[in-house]
Structure 1
Amino acid sequence: MQLYLMGLWETVRDFIGTGGDVLYLVFIALLIMWIVMVERWWYLLGVFPKERDRIIKEWNAREDTTSWYAHRIRDAWVSEASEKLSARMLLLKTMIAICPLIGLLGTVTGMIAVFEIMAVQGTGNPRLMAGGISMATIPTMAGMVAALSGMFFAQRLDARAKAAKEQLIDSLPHH
C-alpha cells in the first residue's frame, strides 16, 4: 500500500513538474469547489429534510393558515429555506468558471517559457520547446477537467435544491 502511494505521489509530482506551478492553483480551486459541493450535498440530503419537517410541523400546528398575515409568515419561512438551500451555490459556480481560466493562465506562462527558450536557444532545439509546449497545454487540460468534474454535480445539486424548495411549498397548503 505504501509503495502504491509513493508511486502515486511520484506520478502527481511529475505531472505538476511537467505542467508548471499553475497546477497548484488549479488544485486549490478544485479542492474548494469539491469541499463546497460535498457540504451542499450534505446539507441537502442530511440537514434540510429535518428543517423542512420542522417548518411543515410548525405550519400545521398553526390555527390560522388563511389570513394575509399567515401567508406572509409562510412566504418568509419558504424564503428563508430557499436562501439556505441556495447558499454558496454562487461560490461553487464561480469556482467551476475559474478552473478553465486558471488553466489558460498556465497556457500563457507555458508559451512565455517557449518564447524564452526560442530567444536563448533559437528554434533548433525541439526537445526544449516541447517541454514548454507541454507546460502550456497540461494546465489548460487540467483546468477543463476540473471544471467538467464539477459542472455535472453542480447542475444536479442545483436541480435538487429547486425541487426541494418546490416540495416544501407544496407541503405548506394555503387554504
Structure 2
Amino acid sequence: MNPINVYNGLQEFLGVGGVVLFVIMIVTFALWTFILERFAYYLFAHKPTKARLKNEWEARTDKTSWRAHAVRDEMVSQVKERTDTNVGIIKTLVALLPLLGLLGTVTGMIEVFDVMALSGSSNARLMAGGVFKATIPTMAGMTAALSGLYFSTVLPRWSTRETARFSDELQVG
C-alpha cells in the first residue's frame, strides 16, 4: 500500500464528491477522535478516579449525616460527569453526518440542473456526472454515521452502568 497512491485516491474521491465530502471527512475524524477519547478514559483514567474517590469516602469517619450524604452524592456526580463527557457530542455528530450527506445530494442535484439549463436539454450523459456526484456524499455520510452509531448507544449505557456501580460501592453507615 503505497502512501502516494492512497493520497491520490483520496484526492480523487474528494474531488468527485465535492466540498461536502471534505466536510464529512472532517466531521468523521472528529467523531472518531471523541470515540477514541472515551475508550482512553475507560482504559486509563476511570479506575484511578473511582479508586481515589472511594478512598476519600472510606477515609471519612462520618458516613450517616446529611453532609456525608451530600458528599457522597457529589462523588457520584463526579463519576457521572466524567463518564458522560463527550457522549452528547458523539450523538450529535452521528446525527449530523447523514444530514451532511443529504446536503451533498442537494448540491449534486443542483449541478445536474445547472447542466440541464446550460445545455438546454436533458442529455443523460451530461446529467450522469451530477447524479454520481450527488450519490457519493450521501453514501459517505450514511457510512460514517453508521460507523459511530453503535458507540452513540453503547457509551451512554456504559456511563449509566459505571455510575450505578460506583454508587453501590460507596457504603452508607
TM range (shorter): over 0.9
Provide the aligned C-alpha RMSD in A: 1.3
Aligned counterparts of 1:14 and 1:122: Cα–Cα separation in 2: 29
**1:129 corresponds to which residue?**
127
SS state at 2:6 partner: helix
**1:31 corresponds to which residue?**
29
8 Å CA contact retained: 1:44, 1:161: no
**2:109 corresponds to which residue?**
111
> TM-score, with normalisation over the residues of structure 1?
0.93
Q: Spell out, residue by residue over 1:4-55, the C-alpha distance to the aligned partner (whole angstroms, 9 max, x if none).
A: 2222222222211221111011011111111111111111221011010011
- C-alpha displacement at 1:159, in angstroms? 1.7
Aligned counterparts of 2:122 and 2:51: Cα–Cα separation in 1: 71
SS state at 2:153 partner: helix
Between 94-103 and 4-13, report the one with greater CA deviation: 4-13
What are structure 2's unaligned runs of at least 5 residues? none
**1:22 corresponds to which residue?**
20
Aligned counterparts of 1:127 and 1:18: Cα–Cα separation in 2: 16
Aligned residue-pair number: 173
Q: Report the residue type matching 2:7 in the other structure.
A: W
Aligned counterparts of 2:49 and 2:21: Cα–Cα separation in 1: 40
What are structure 1's unaligned runs of at least 5 residues? none
8 Å CA contact retained: 1:41, 1:157: no
Residues 7-156 of structure 1: pairs in structure 2 closer than 5 A: 7-156=5-154
> TM-score, with normalisation over the residues of structure 2?
0.94
Q: Report the residue type matching 2:145 in the other structure.
A: A
Q: Report the residue type matching 2:29 in the other structure.
A: L
